[in-house]
Structure formats: C-alpha cells, structure tokens
Chain A
Amino acid sequence: MNSIIKFIKSLFFLEIFKGLSITGKKLYKKPITIQYPEEKTPQSTRFRGLHALRKYPNGEERCIGCKLCEAVCPALAITIDTEERADDNTRRTTKYDIDLFKCIYCGFCEEACPVDAIIETSIFEYHFENRNDGIMNKIDLLKIGDLYEQQELKDRSANDL
C-alpha cells in the first residue's frame, strides 16, 4: 500500500509543489535579509563588542590597576603592569593589553571592574592586517573609549530603565 502512495506522489511531483509553495508565498513578502554594509540590524544596548578604557569627565583615566579583570578573564587575554604614578602617588597601569584573538567576549572584565573603566562597546566590525594588531594596548583602548563615551552613556541609561 505504501509503495503505491509513494508511486502516485512521485508521479505527480506532489512534494516538489509542496516545497515550492513556500517559495511562492515568500516571493511576494518583504525580504528579511538586510544589505549588510549599507544596512544594519538593531543592536542590544548590552552588546559586548570591542573593548575600550573609559575616562572621567575631567580627562583622568578611570583604571586604577586593580587587576581584577586580569584575574577574572577566563581566556587569560588581559595583561596588566602597574606602578605608583609619580605625580600623585596613585596606583596606575603602565601596560594594559588585551589579546583580541584570545578574548571570548564574555564581559566578565566589565563586570569585575570596580570603577567601570574597561567596557565592551557596541563595535563589532573590525579587522586586522597583521597578527600583532590583534593585541590592543592602553593607548588604543583609551582612544576607543574617547570615541564611544557618548554611545556608552546612552547605552547605560537605557540599561538602567
């Protein structure tokens, strides 16, 4: 009996029509694919992208070199060296490196930071031409922080709601 039904189905291309009916339906609907570089999908305000180091409004860097992000990082992507800054005897970093090839973007560093210095911004589109470029240093991170500070404040206020 089964073999007869199978024979009839294949004789009249029933399965092909069934499949093509979905194609036919979607043909006249608005497509969900977006044209990536020109168009972009909406992003969560909690998106965890490229890292940045923030500063206080007066220009002072936030990071106090407590090394909690280094300690919490599950991928061991962060390397920090600290020393006493001569000007005001505060604890500051002399080196703050993040290896983006090691980073798994878990956001633990952000969570561990007691002064909200290290953040993961919404930037997700970036590339490197050399392998070494994958290691972000303190200067790069502070620069990104400067550029994305306003965005970060916006995201933060959205998260607070």
Chain B
Amino acid sequence: MDIYINNNKYQALDDETIIQVADRHDIHIPRFCYHKRLSVVASCRMCLVEVEGAKYPQPACSTIVRDGMKVNTVGSITEDAQKSTMEFLLINHPLDCPVCDQAGECELQDISLDHGDYKSNYKEIKRTVIDKDIGNLVTTEMTRCIHCSRCVRFGEEIAGIKELGMTGRGEKTKIETFVNQSLTSELSGNVIDLCPVGALNNNLYKYSARTWDLKQISSISSNDCLGSNIHYHTYKDEIKRTVPKENDEINLSWLADSDRFGHEGIESEERILYPLIRSENKLIKSDLDTLNEVVSQKIQEYTLNTTAVMSAQSSCEEMYLFQKFLRDIGISNIDHRSKESDFKYQDKYPVIPSFDIKLSEIESMENIILVNVNITKEFPILSVYLRNAVKQNSTNIISLSAYEYLENFDISHSETLSPKELEKYFTTNSNNILSNINKDNKNLIIMGPSTTYLKNYTNIINNISRYAKSINSKLSLLGDQCNTSGAWAMGILPHRLPGGIEIEEFKQTAYLSSYPKNDLLIVYNLEPEYDFSNDTEIIDRLKNSKFNIFFSSYMTDSINKYADVVYPLAVQQESHGSYLNTNKQLQVFNQVISPRGESKNGIELLLGLSKRLGINIDDKQISEDINKILSNINIKSNYVLVDSMEITNENNTLEKIIIRSSNSNNPTLRRCKSLLTTHDNDSFMSIPNSMKINSESKITINELENSLKIKANIKVHDKPDNTILVKMNGRYEQKIGSYNTSVELS
C-alpha cells in the first residue's frame, strides 16, 4: 500500500507502523521508548505525528498504516506536540550534563536541541531518586531516568530474566532491581546501550573520557565462537568501552557481557611487556634478537622431539604461520586441543567443525536438542535466538547435560546425565524421549564445547551423529574458543595440514601421555594452569623437558617457574588478523590499540623467528593463502561416524566433571575483575547424594602425586551418579581444572 509522509509517497507493508516506514526511508521522528527490537508501549509520547483525519496527534510507533494515510512529521501540530512532550520530560530531568557520561550521545540532549523549547514553565522542585546498587557492571543515576522502560522490556523480552522492574506510580515511578547487586544476566550490559539518557551507564567507562573524544574502531569479539561484531571506543590509545556493531546475522543489536567488559584485563599488572629469557634460575629482560638466536638453536637441536601447542584464540594468520614454519623445519607435533583428552575421533572429524546452519534459521526449528551446554551462560547471543524460537514457534527444546542448567528460555524436557549415560542415551535401543522425535520435523542438535572435554568424547559424538542421521537433523558443533573452527581449518593438528589434507603417517597428539625425555615444548598463548585438560601433567612435563618456549601475554606462576624464554605476545585488541567463526565466516579485525610495552603481535614474532630459522614467508601472501585454503574446503555434514568404537569401561569410581566457565575462558577474560565478581560468584562442588557427606567430610582430589584441599560451597545432586561436578571460577581457584582426576571422600 502507499502512504504519504510530508506529501511524499512511500511504499508500506500491511501491519507496519508509521515509524517503521519512516525509519526505512530515513525520515526522522524523535522517540525514546520505541526500539526496533523491543515491543511497542507508546509511553513516552515523543513520536507524536499529525495524521490527517485524526483529531489528535498519533504516536507513530504504535499507529498502524492504512492505505492513503497522510502523515505530517514537520507541521505545527506535530511540532507543538513534540515541544510539550519535551517540556514534560525535562521537568524532572536534572541539569547535570557536564558530569553525565551520556552527554554528547544522549538522545534526550539531541532531541531537546532539535525539538524542545528553550525555556521551561516549571519552577518547582525537581524529583530526586536514591540510587540502588545494581551490580559491578552498570552504574545508576536514577534521577536522570525518563521512564521509557526500554531496560525493563529488554529483560522481559530479550534476556528472559526480569532483573529491572518498574515500581510505583506517577511521580513515584522508579526503575530498580528488587534486590541489591542483582543485575547479573549475561546480557545485562545491553541496558547501557538501550538507555536513552545517562541513567544506566557503563561502570568501566565511568568518568574516564567524554564521548566526543572517543575514536571508534570496529573489531571482532574474541570471547566466543559466534564472533560478535563490536566497536571499540578508544581514547589516548586505551580502550575505554565496547559497544555492539549491528550485524543481523550474528549479534543483532546485542552484546554479551564478556565482550562488553572483556577489555579490562588488557591493562593488567601481569602483562608481559618485554622479551624474557632464563638466566640463573630467573627470568630476565632481554631482546628479541637474543631470543630468536637461542630459540632457533634449540629448535634445530631438538627438531624431532618438539611439541607445539597453540591456543585456538590465535588468529588464522598466526595459525597458518605457526604450522607452516614448524612443519617446514620438520616439527609435526602440533595441536590446539589442549582441553581435550580423547582424540580417537580425529580422522573422521569435519575439516571445519561448525554450527552448520545460519543463526536466523534456528527460529524455524521444531525440535532442538542441547547436549552438555548452558546456552544462557556460555553463548548469551545464541540464547536470544533460541528464546525467540520458543516464543515465536514454540520450539520443543530438550537439554541433556551433566548439570541442571538454568536457561532463559523454556525447556520442555531436561535430563541430567553422566558422560557414560550420555553416551548410551543416543543409542537406538534406548527407550527415552529421543525416540519420540519425528524425523519429518525440522530437528537440530546443538553440542556444547564441554562435551569435547569428556574422556569418552569419541563414543558420544559417534552415537550422536548416528542418531542425528536417523532423525534427519543437522549436528551443530559449538567451538570452545573464538577460532576453534579456524584452528581445524588451518591445520593446528597433528594429523592434518591446512585445508584438512590428511597426513599419511601421524602420531596421536603428543603433549599428553608418552613423550621423549629430551624434548622441547612450545606453548603459544596458553596458560598451563588454566588451559589444559590435565594441568598437573602439563606442569610435570614442563618441569622435565629440556627447553620451554612460551608465547604469552600474561605471566602466571608456571610460566615464571618453567619457561626458558617468553615472547611478549600482544593481545587480540593490539593485533590484526581474522577469525573463522562457527558459521564458517572469515571475519577480519584490525588493530585497536598499540601493543603495550615491547610486546608484538603474533604475526611479527613468528615471522621474525622463522626468518632467523632461514624460512622466508611473504607476509602479504598469508591472507591470500588462507582465502585459497578456505575456498577449497567442501563440507557435507558434521557427522562423525567412527568405524570401531572402544567400549567405555564401567567402573564405580568417582569421576570429576568440570562445568565450563565462559567468563574465564581466555587469558584476558581471566583478568577482568568486574566480570568475574559479577557472573562467577557461584563456584561450587557438587557431590552425589548417595555419598552422604556432611559438613565435616573432607574432600581430596588426587592429581598424580599431588592432592588438593578444596574450599568451595558443597552442593549435593541426585543425578548423575558417580560424578563430582566442579565449577571453580575466577583465576586462582581454577587450578584444579584438570578434567580427569580421582576424587576421594573421607
């Protein structure tokens, strides 16, 4: 149908509102409460426009268009309405723009300048509201609130947890949390962007800069495999805050808290700022030339006994370079799967493990099975899509995991299973909820990254693949790190070259189990304490090996004790490169700030070292090579069908399972204090009910020769049996992060 806005003819769809048509054609209508991704309440009255035939001005956000409608957004009736609304809104708004962090990007400021009057008739006392402490991430200045209720609707509609609410009526209306410090959902930071005034603001950014000073640089999130698009705002070469960059295929208008507040760790005191070399049992400051000299000598000496482990945090460029120069000098023990402990599946694994369907297609699914994943905590952006699916399409969601996870969408059936039970659950002869799923429906299986940590991962993924095939479902694999898909594609594996080309003669991953005595270890951007499936074993190995080369951004105890040389690695925000996200999209990011101290980005460090070793790689060629490799990859499905399965032995010893903590997943995040204190305040150990523990019971966790005493909240669970669940968050407690250790109760 056609409508007329300011006497110009525009095309409109049925059920559209005036503001939607106007927005599409860049016609400015002021608004506060309207947001394109939230429901319409028409409470602020700022978008009133003159509609021909209507007695009074109509709110453009809630008036549905009809054929031949004539709208006037500039006439005197509209302007009068805007002026009066503005005057009402400003009655109680304080004049504290000079100290308000929103000043300069404030919607109230802008609209007041464009549509407000220069004087007010209000002479009485303004309202003041006492602030409530709502958490570490968002600061409040509730006197500034204009009650648009965007934050309240966001909680109800998008985040799924109603954390902020409106209490009181009329002048006593307040936006508040009902309990102190309770803004803790993984998407809570988005209320900062939604707030049109300075009532809700970013705590990390508080009073540190002004909006007009900030420089905006777009980048890609390094905290989860979805690869959210973000803008960093910098001032004087420091990241001041992070805001979402709209991308309709990934993060929509939202951002997870780990992305928004995840830059705090960059300025940590533990940053390694200089090249370090061990001399008389101490790491001392050195320079890159000396390091390259020593390292190249050692690498040539121990070529056959070298093991290299790289983080899947690294960019595709770093990965490509890393494996290329190592393979060129004859080192083939390369891996990125430091958190896994079962590798028998690896020949059959897809070249790029991926989510396999577009995120927007999730909405149309009829059945979704979640395996061992807490979407709300681990992939907050994905939870928006799943929640939408449940709301729009009443999708049936089944959750099968080791722990009863809380999700922000409705789950129709959830089951708590131990790894062995999980393996059996998907076999055809078992009679359970899965046998009711119709293969003619649109089904989807989403497998979480913590499944890959399990000791019987091969069996689990094999059974799931068989089951997925039988119900015509796609298998979506979520990556543990932001570039897990890239690591598989770039050949950071012992058995595959870039592009998934199989190596005839390969060994199993060598950083675990048997290893030669005289050996050399290269650890790239991984922290031995936190990033390995078996931290005691890797530390043991660091102790015994002849030479340890670290590329790291942050200092940890084990690096300080066992590293022989440490290259100062720049963090992601300080380097450039690209990430392959879980949808197989290669996303390029640029340098946001300059590297701290003498640290250098990985590409430079690796090029320098490979040049010293006599391998000349043209750095301009790298991204071309990567594109070539990726364009040649052809994947049909994610099914992993293993020919011969080893039977998992049934024993009754207690098994320990780690619950993945997404907010301490990478070195930078581990140093973000405000994030850790907000989201990870529930570390616990959960012990089977049948163990009959009481408050005096002592728990000893044995890892090799060491045993650890644990201070943690103890919970009990009924299911799964013979399993101890550990969620240890933050940094220091996470040391017990090994995934297979024996547990004793006394």
Where the two chains meet, the residues of A that have a C-beta atom closer than 8 Å to any C-beta of B are 64-68, 71, 82-84, 90-91, 114-115
Residues of A within 8 A of B210 (CB): 66-67, 71
Q: In the complex the two chains form, what is the Cα distance from A67 to B361 in whole Å?
A: 47
Please list 23 pairs of residues, one from A and one from B, whose beta carbons are closer than 8 Å in the complex, sorted by A's number: A64-B98, A65-B99, A65-B207, A66-B97, A66-B98, A66-B99, A66-B103, A67-B210, A67-B213, A68-B98, A71-B210, A71-B212, A82-B207, A82-B209, A83-B207, A83-B208, A84-B206, A84-B207, A90-B99, A91-B99, A91-B207, A114-B98, A115-B98
In the complex, chain A residues whose CB is within 8 Å of the CB of B206 = 84
Contact indicator per residue, chain B 196-234, by CB within 8 Å of chain A (1) or not (0): 000000000011111011000000000000000000000
A95 to chain B, nearest CB (A): 11
4 shortest A-B CB distances, which residue pairs?
A66-B98, A91-B207, A91-B99, A114-B98
Q: How far is the CB of A153 from chain B (nearest CB, A)?
A: 23
A93 to chain B minimum Cβ distance, whole angstroms, is 10
Chain A minimum-CB-distance residue to B131: A89
- Residues of chain B lying within 8 A (CB to CB) of residue A67: 210, 213
Q: Whole-angstrom distance between the alpha carbons of A90 and B101 in the complex?
A: 12
Contacts of B212 in A (CB 8 A): 71
List residues of B whose CB falls within 8 A of some A CB: 97-99, 103, 206-210, 212-213
The interface residues of chain A lying within 8 Å CB-to-CB of B103 are 66
The distance in angstroms between the C-alpha atoms of A115 and B96, with both chains bound, is 11
How far, in whole Å, are A102 and B99 apart by their CA atoms in the complex?
Answer: 27
Given contacts A67-B210, A84-B206, A91-B207, 15 further A-B contacts (CB under 8 A): A64-B98, A64-B99, A65-B99, A65-B207, A66-B99, A66-B103, A66-B210, A68-B98, A71-B212, A82-B208, A82-B209, A90-B99, A91-B99, A114-B98, A115-B98
Instruction: Report chain B residues within 8 Å CB of A64.
Output: 98-99
Give A22 to B742 CA distance when docked, in angstroms.
Answer: 112
> Could you say which residues of chain B place their CB within 8 Å of the CB of A66?
97-99, 103, 210
Give the distance in Å from the alpha carbon of A37 to the alpha carbon of B97 in the complex: 45
A48 to chain B, nearest CB (A): 22
Can you name the residue of chain B whose Cβ is closest to the Cβ of A85? B207
B211 shortest CB reach to chain A, Å:
10
Q: Which residues of the other chain, A, contact B209 by a CB distance below 8 angstroms? A: 82
Interface centre among B103, B206, B210 (most CB of A within 10 A): B210
**Chain A nearest CB: distance from B617 CB in Å?**
42
Q: Which residue of the partner chain B has the closest CB to A90? A: B99
Contacts of A83 in B (CB 8 A): 207-208
User: How far is A68 from B98 in the complex, measured between Cα atoms in Å?
Assistant: 8
Query: Which A residues are in CB contact (< 8 Å) with B98?
Result: 64, 66, 68, 114-115
In the assembly, what is the distance between CA of A64 and CA of B209, in Å? 13
Residues of B within 8 A of A90 (CB): 99
> With the chains together, A91 CA to B103 CA distance in Å?
14
* Complexed CA–CA distance, A64 and B213 (Å): 17
Most buried by A among B97, B99, B212: B99
Within the complex, the shortest CB–CB distance from B140 to chain A, in Å, comes to 12
Cα–Cα, bound, A118→B218 (Å):
36
Q: Please report the C-alpha to C-alpha distance between residue A67 and residue B212 in the assembled complex, in whole angstroms.
A: 10
- Return A62 CB to nearest CB of chain B, in Å: 11
CB distance from A67 to the nearest CB of B (A): 5
Q: Which residues of B contact A84 (CB under 8 A)?
A: 206-207
Which residues on the A side are within 8 Å of B208 (C-beta)?
82-83
B570 to chain A, nearest CB (A): 25
Measured between beta carbons, the chain A residues less than 8 angstroms from B99 are 64-66, 90-91
Tell me, in angstroms, the Cα distance from A71 to B211 when the chains sit together. 11
Closest to B98 in A: A66
* Residue of chain B at shortest CB distance from A66: B98
Nearest A residue to B236, CB-CB:
A81
Complex CA distance for A84 and B207, rounded to whole angstroms: 6
